[in-house]
Amino acid sequence: MGKITTAYLLTCAAIGVASGIVLAVGWWVSLGLFATIPFASVAIAGLWVMPAVIALRLLNRPFAGLLVGVISGLVLAPFWTISAVATTVFWSLFPELPFFVTLYRRWATWLHYIGGAAVGVAYPILAAQSFDLWSMSPPLVALFIALCAVSCLVGTWAGILLADRLRAAGVARLARRRAPRTA
């Protein structure tokens, strides 16, 4: 894993703060949609996947996604509650899991999509009571889960695209560099 450098921590902080600001807006939009058209509120679920995907893709370091999740949750906490940290860590856990399973030895693009698909299916099932999901007809339940999964896959794609552009701009060069070993 190597040592944790200041550049790595600052990069995670920058991603987390920027993501927290975007998620604050997304949270208001999601609440508005949930109050009026609950079915459509999962159409923007992919926003919550993006921060972890960006961090993992850009830095290729263990726990970068979770660290960014904690930071973005801390940014959101004053506007919501401290439970925002749990929410953002939940959404960051799934993009991190495929890499954890491979013990962070593989950084293939398709692993990002597995994490995105997993949270896209898991979230509606875990939040079924708040959406009153089980009172819907089976085709609507399937459509609801599919909408959330597609949103998370689109969020994963957008996170990969943004991370690749940041890397091309040179953002990750210093953050990915390993700290010098000391005797």
Q: What does the pLDDT read at residue 96?
A: 96
CA dist 44 and 24 (Å) reads 13
Would you tell me how many other CB atoms lie within 10 Å of the CB of residue 74? 17
Q: What does the pLDDT read at residue 177?
A: 56
Q: Where are the alpha helices (DSSP H) in 37-171?
A: 38-41, 46-59, 64-76, 83-101, 109-126, 128-131, 138-168
CA dist 112 and 97 (Å) reads 9
| Cα end-to-end distance, the chain, whole Å | 18
Residue carrying structure tokens 């909408």: 147
Q: What does the pLDDT read at residue 5?
A: 85
Would you tell me how many other CB atoms lie within 10 Å of the CB of residue 106? 11
Report the amino acid identity of residue 171: V
What are the residues whose beta carbons fall under 8 Å from the beta carbon of 73, sequence distance 6 or more?
20, 84, 85, 86, 87, 88, 89
CA dist 129 and 88 (Å) reads 20
Q: What does the pLDDT read at residue 136?
A: 87
Q: Would you kindly state where each structural domain of the chain is located, as residue ranges?
A: 6-176
CA dist 134 and 89 (Å) reads 26
CA dist 171 and 39 (Å) reads 38
Residues of the chain scoring pLDDT < 70: 1-2, 174-183
Phi, psi for residue 82 in degrees, rounded to 5: -65, -20
Q: What does the pLDDT read at residue 176?
A: 59
